[in-house]
Structure 1
Amino acid sequence: MYATRRVLVWILIAVFFAVALNPVTNWTQRRLVKWRWLATLLVFLATLGLLTALTALLVVPLLDEVGRLAEQVTQLLHDARAGRGPIGHLLERLHLRRYLDSRDIREYGSRLREPSLKVLRKAVFGVAGTVTIFVLAYLMVLESPKVVDRTLGLVHERHRDRVRRVGGRCARTITGYLSGNLLISVICGVLTYATMAIMGVPYAGVLALLVAVADLLPLVGATLGAVIATGASFVHSTRAGIVVLVFFVLYQQIENHVLQPMIYARAVRLNPLTVLISLLIAADLAGILGALLAIPAAGIIQIIFLDVYHGRRQRSRSGRPPSKAEND
């Protein structure tokens, strides 16, 4: 059951990427190359290059900072045992310094150095999932004109333009949701960097990037990023940790109740109250996956409902009863 759910998640993510990249592929096919396969290949190669560049911008400085931190670990542990430095002073105030020399701590540290099959397994599944999503999205974009034509062929000729119009609106809803989610993550990263830089927290840029990337995940993403950034701030100083903690508590409320409803309302053309209610219901029913799909699903339902409603209203005004073909 878990494996099936994982595959379904991969397919849904691939659909999101395919819908987002399909307009770019269509434009490339109209303006640059006439072959669909070549236009799709160019767009996906450009996307892969962009993702690789963004990953390098995140990973390279992160590895550099982690390397610097690793060089200081021995000194930090020595200072902590002696009660010196920010960690030592914090442990001294909390009366926890005596536990650093306990046998349990040393045994736990030795276990951390042992290779973990679970971590390796998750890494393999992560790579496999990324490749699968990329291939699925590529095939979806490549075959989308044929799929659309075959689907429209199943619809009565009188309704084909209408179905095509509604489908285009649904696709734009998904694209708007993705762009809105990206904008919120950028805002979160910028504000996080400003706060941590003002407090003088080391590695503020890398931590802000991690928070921004984590914020792309609904529900748990922002909390995970906040825990990492707040923990690093407390290591620097208690004052910085408290300030960063208060910032994240306030920002979470603003993002959940102001930014998300307002931005998604513009991007997906939904009422802010509808956005908030959709998120709450879907998150309660299906967790992270439900929160991920809640807003675009609500936007698509609204588009279909309004189209059906306006269609029936026009027929009632004209006094013409719906035909058998229209009911089908």
Structure 2
Amino acid sequence: MSNADTRVTARRTLIVIGLVLATAFALAFVYATRRVLVWAVVAAFFAVALKPLVDRLQRRFVPRRALATLLVFLAAFALLAILAAAILAPLLNELGRFAERAPELLRDVRAGRGPVGHLLERVGARQYVSEHSEQLRTFGARLREPAVGVLRSVVETVAGLVTVIVLAYLMVLEAPRITSRVLAAAGDGRGERLRRVGREVSRTVTGYLTGNLVISVICGALTFVVLALTGVPFAAVIALLVAVADLIPLVGATLGAVIAAGAGFLHSPTAGVVVLVFFVVYQQVENHLLQPLILARAVRLNPLTVLVSVLLAAELAGLLGALLAIPAAGIIQALLREYGPAQLRPKPPAGPDPRRRPAGPAHQSSTGRTGGRSAGPGRELG
């Protein structure tokens, strides 16, 4: 082997080693900063969803970007506060009434009286509690030990929520400057393609949020009907809480089912069974019919792609993966449409292409002259 071949082999070996080390370093960096990266991804998700509202408000009513952004975020917080008040106020009232009746209910449970006492008596739970009362007291004492860990988790959750809000606000506020700089650096041709990709990404995220809200409204309305027919008290509040929980993909309906079924069983065993059966059937319909169809129409994805994306992302990344699976699939489709090979590019959605301008008289005549110059006699005859 000559000296030149030896130098080439050594250079390739060093390049491979460098790439492996760089990949390992990048993966270690991502793992070490995974919490901050998750916050940034969630903030970007909400920023993309709120940016069209800020742009519209800035164009029509408020010229200053900072004021328009502040008004949109305040409106979003006001809406969330109204929903929280509508849910928490009746629940706190019921908790107060429950605390007042707790000693009487406890006496009824111990004596096997009342709906809860009868239910525990049927399933044999009252006898189990009386036989293992000492073990249950020990278990209750152990539950007080991880209070510091629970408090730490609450503090971290609040810090993460504040961080996501601040990041989303800054992203929306600085979006025009960042976009103009990126497009200027990319040039005219690439800048136009990046602008199209950005519009497609924004439309995907907005469509996903709209479709998810529609599904949650359907879930809340059907839950209210079932709870009202079975006579469960506070059916509207419980249905609203179920609709909010249903915003979480895949597991949201399960969380709502636990809440609604628990309220149903507290009212009567028959109502609890009816509510539980309803949610078992509805969750299958939502996961395999409503979500693929509605989200596929809103995001312009194939229903099979929607379902497979959610299942794979939930398996790989848990709840966050299920939440971001459909927007990520839409973003990948937009990137493939612009930059992928012709064989891998997905077909454009049905209907008029928003990127194509309608051809006016001047455009038609210009196209005709261009076609006349570029096409030969054989092509015109063909």
TM-score, length-scaled by structure 2:
0.76
- Secondary structure in structure 1 of the residue aligned to 2:62: coil
2:166 counterpart of 1:165: no
Aligned to 1:16: 45
Aligned to 1:44: 73
Q: Is the 8 A contact 1:201 1:233 kept in 2?
A: yes
1:111, distance to aligned residue in structure 2 (A): 6.2
1:113, distance to aligned residue in structure 2 (A): 7.3
Q: Distance in 1 between matches of 2:189 and 2:100?
A: 71
RCO (CA 8 Å, sep 6+): is it higher in 1 or 2? 1
Q: Is the 8 A contact 1:279 1:291 kept in 2?
A: yes
Match of 1:301 among 332, 341, 346: 332
Q: Distance in 1 between matches of 2:289 and 2:114?
A: 40
1:108, distance to aligned residue in structure 2 (A): 4.5
Where do residues 167-182 of structure 1 align in structure 2 (5 Å cutoff)? Answer: 167-182=198-213
1:230, distance to aligned residue in structure 2 (A): 1.6
- Secondary structure in structure 1 of the residue aligned to 2:301: coil
1:302, distance to aligned residue in structure 2 (A): 1.3
1:115, distance to aligned residue in structure 2 (A): 8.9
Where do residues 61-210 of structure 1 align in structure 2 (5 Å cutoff)? Answer: 61-101=90-130, 102-109=133-140, 116-210=147-241
Larger Rg: 2
Q: Distance in 2 between matches of 1:59 and 1:114?
A: 28
Q: Distance in 2 between matches of 1:310 and 1:38?
A: 43
Q: Is the 8 A contact 1:211 1:229 kept in 2?
A: yes
Q: Is the 8 A contact 1:65 1:203 kept in 2?
A: no
1:90, distance to aligned residue in structure 2 (A): 1.0
Q: Is the 8 A contact 1:278 1:294 kept in 2?
A: yes
Farther-moved stretch of structure 1 (10-19 vs 138-147): 10-19
**Equivalent residue letter for 2:274:** V
Q: Distance in 2 between matches of 1:253 and 1:66?
A: 32
Q: Deviations over 1:161-190 (max 9, x none)?
A: 222122111111011111211221221122
- Secondary structure in structure 2 of the residue aligned to 1:152: helix
Farther-moved stretch of structure 1 (58-67 vs 199-208): 199-208
Aligned to 2:320: 289
- Secondary structure in structure 1 of the residue aligned to 2:33: helix
Q: Percent identity?
A: 62
2:251 counterpart of 1:220: yes
Q: Distance in 2 between matches of 1:126 and 1:107?
A: 29
1:51, distance to aligned residue in structure 2 (A): 1.7
Q: Distance in 2 between matches of 1:251 and 1:4?
A: 38
Aligned to 2:280: 249
TM-score, length-scaled by structure 1:
0.88
Q: Is the 8 A contact 2:250 2:287 kept in 1?
A: no
Q: Is the 8 A contact 2:314 2:321 kept in 1?
A: yes
Aligned to 2:359: none
Q: Is the 8 A contact 1:282 1:290 kept in 2?
A: yes
1:225, distance to aligned residue in structure 2 (A): 2.1
Instruction: Count residues with an aligned counterpart.
Output: 315
Judged with a 3 Å threshold, the aligned counterparts in structure 2 of structure 1 residues 301 and 58 are, in CA distance, closer, same or farther, namely same
Q: Deviations over 1:216-270 (max 9, x none)?
A: 2223222122123222322322211211111011000100011101110111011
Judged with a 3 Å threshold, the aligned counterparts in structure 2 of structure 1 residues 176 and 223 are, in CA distance, closer, same or farther, namely same
Farther-moved stretch of structure 1 (113-122 vs 194-203): 113-122
Judged with a 3 Å threshold, the aligned counterparts in structure 2 of structure 1 residues 7 and 173 are, in CA distance, closer, same or farther, namely same
Q: Which runs of 5+ in 1 are unaligned?
A: 321-328
Q: Deviations over 1:9-66 (max 9, x none)?
A: 2211111111111111111111112221121122212222222222212211221122
1:110, distance to aligned residue in structure 2 (A): 6.0
**Equivalent residue letter for 2:70:** L
- Secondary structure in structure 1 of the residue aligned to 2:186: coil
Q: Is the 8 A contact 1:81 1:100 kept in 2?
A: no
Farther-moved stretch of structure 1 (60-69 vs 300-309): 300-309
Farther-moved stretch of structure 1 (144-153 vs 32-41): 32-41
2:291 counterpart of 1:274: no
- Secondary structure in structure 2 of the residue aligned to 1:10: helix
Q: Which runs of 5+ in 2 are unaligned?
A: 1-29, 346-370, 375-382
Q: CA RMSD in A?
A: 2.5
